[in-house]
Amino acid sequence: MESSSKGLLTQVTQFWNLLDDLAESNPESYKKFIEQQLKEGKQLCATPEPQLCLQTRILKPKEKVLFINLCQWKRIPAPQSATHPVPLKVGTPEDISETSDVYTVI
């Protein structure tokens, strides 16, 4: 574990040195690189975008309504092709109580 931490620290130090060199030797390229990194980082930090909601029922152990919210999220890559499975990330089911109605949302 300690050797991998040292290796990682070495890589990070080398990366920072490369960025320092680029900033000094080619400020315009450095600026473009940083702007691109910030743009990509902003996209990855964006929240999921709602697409549609499905309503179905949970039958056991107690019958109740289930809403499944489907979202698009930049952090989950598109499928590689039509024959590959669609990558998914599933949230934790959350029980909601409103007046006398109880339902679950995912």
**Strand bridging mode 101-105 / 64-72:** parallel
Report pLDDT digits (tens) over 46-85. 888 999 999 999 999 888 999 999 998 877 888 888 898 8
CA–CA separation, 93 and 60 (whole Å) = 15
Question: Contact 43/36 with Cβ under 8 angstroms?
Answer: no
pLDDT for 98 equals 80
pLDDT for 91 equals 87
Report pLDDT digits (tens) over 19-51. 999 999 999 999 999 999 898 888 778 888 999
pTM above 0.85, yes or no: no
**Domain ranges in the chain?**
5-45, 49-105
pLDDT for 2 equals 64
Of 1 and 67, more confident: 67
SS3 readout for 45-90: HCCCEEEEEEEEEECCCCCEEEEEEEEECCCCCCCCCCCCCCCCCC
pLDDT for 106 equals 93
